[in-house]
Structure 1
Amino acid sequence: MKRPAFVKAPVKALGWPGLAGLAALVLAVIAVVLSQRWDAQAVKLQAEARELRAKARPAAAAASAPVSVQQWQASLPPSSSRQQRLADLLELSIRLDLVGARTEHRLSTSEGLERMRVTMPLTGNYAQLRRFIGAALAHDPALSLDAVKLRRVSPMATDVDAELQWSLHGRAAP
């Protein structure tokens, strides 16, 4: 295959090293043009980030506003709702088809607050347990998950034996 004359002359005049240098020069020009675009995009994104941070500051300040102990205590459910809250927790585990052996609970009160510690041994697959924990915490804002112990009987088993320790927090009866 013959090369056209307009290709032969530059190749002959520059040689292969010259052509490689010319290609590098063209690539450098392309990189400069692209970097200018990228810099413009970066400036635009930084401006958007500053705007979002400015919007988020008031919300974060409101969320982190100090709450007095009395306000926090007043927001807790009364002791009269304790049995219903416990029943809701147990019902939720049943609705999600988690098999439970026996549930133990102990009540303690101190300085106008009560805490019912609930120990729930359950068996189910990992996804069921995650759904249960998420649903329980979403359902009762005064519920906390204190400990989780997971054990798989064998590496091939799909079910997991779990022991969940919850605390139902509330206001003690006066």
Structure 2
Amino acid sequence: MNKIDVNHLRWLVSKYLSALGLWGLLGVAIIVSCLLIYVTYIMELDEQITLTQSKLKQHSQPSIKLATLPKTQIQTTAQDVTKFYDLFPAGASLPKWLSMMDAMAIKRHLILNRGDYKLSQTKQGELLRYEIVFPVVGQYIQIRQFIADVLLKLPALALNDLQIKRENSLSPTVEARLVFVLFLKGDSW
């Protein structure tokens, strides 16, 4: 009885095969192939995913060295503040800065016929704001290059506002309103 009867096994398999039919055999083949793919390929991928996740958790945890560093606050000393304010030009050098801006405009073939100037004190600190408004007419690229030149050469100057208008789409020139702010030291006029 311990021996498996081969003839009985063949008869049993043929009986199940005939009961399943062609579509049943196809379904069994698909199930078996899915199980083989799962066992060989997907289980390996699951192991790789868990390994990668554990490595990621190790790297995302803060290291002991970073946790033991003392937290220092950044303090601004009076010397640092003085150095900061020394970076800005004195009020007496204002004509020099304005003539440099005019020279840069001429270099880009722009003419600064008119300008509006306004001096005001900032609410905090020792700086004065000198607001300069230029209406400029020229090609867009010339105006853009002028702005880039001015901001590069004059680090104490900021572009506060820019408005560009073109009469029609065929016109090569644009009208621009440039508002610059020059920061000056307020104590040296």
TM-score by length of 1: 0.59
Runs of 5+ in structure 2 lacking a partner? 1-24, 66-70
How many residues are aligned here?
152
Task: Kindly indicate whether residue 42 of structure 2 is the aligned counterpart of residue 31 of structure 1.
Answer: no
1:102 to 84, 104, 113: 113
In structure 1, which of residues 77, 92, 105 is the aligned counterpart of residue 89 of structure 2? 77
Q: Which of 106, 109, 124 is the equivalent residue of 2:139?
A: 124
CA contact (8 A) 2:102 2:112 kept: no
Of the candidates 96, 100, 122, which is equivalent to residue 88 of structure 1?
100
SS in structure 2 at match of 1:163: strand
Query: 1:125, 1:159 within 8 Å by CA — same for their partners in 2?
Result: yes
Q: Runs of 5+ in structure 1 lacking a partner?
A: 1-10, 52-56
Residues 100 and 120, structure 1, Cα contact 8 Å, conserved in 2: no
Residues of 1 paired with 2:169 and 2:147: CA distance?
23
Question: Which residue type is aligned with residue 145 of structure 1?
Answer: L
Q: Which amino acid aligns with 1:87?
A: S
**Structure 1 residues 101 and 107, CA gap change in structure 2 (3 angstroms):** closer
Residues 1:167 and 2:181 aligned together: yes
Distance 1:165 1:152 in 2: 18
Q: Flag the structure with larger Rg.
A: 2
Go from structure 1 to structure 2 and tell me whether the alpha carbon gap of 1:35 and 1:74 turns closer, same or farther (over 3 Å shift).
Answer: same
Name the % identity.
15
Is 1:15–2:29 an aligned residue pair? yes
Question: Is structure 2 residue 152 aligned with structure 1 residue 135?
Answer: no
Q: Which amino acid aligns with 1:103?
A: R
CA distance in 1, matches of 2:109, 2:52: 53
CA distance in 1, matches of 2:93, 2:57: 55
> What's the RMSD between the two structures over aligned residues?
4.2
- Name the CA distance, whole Å, in 1 between partners of 2:89 and 2:184: 5
AA aligned opposite 1:164: L
Moved over 6 A (4+): none
Note if contact 2:115-2:135 (Cα within 8 Å) is conserved in structure 1: no
Q: 1:146 to 1:34 in 2, by over 3 A?
A: same
TM-aligned CA deviation for residue 166 of structure 1: 0.6
1:102-147 CA distance string (max 9 Å, x none): 2313242559754332112232225x54443343223222212111
Q: What residue is the counterpart of 1:4 in the other structure?
A: none
Amino acid corresponding to residue 103 of structure 2 in structure 1: E
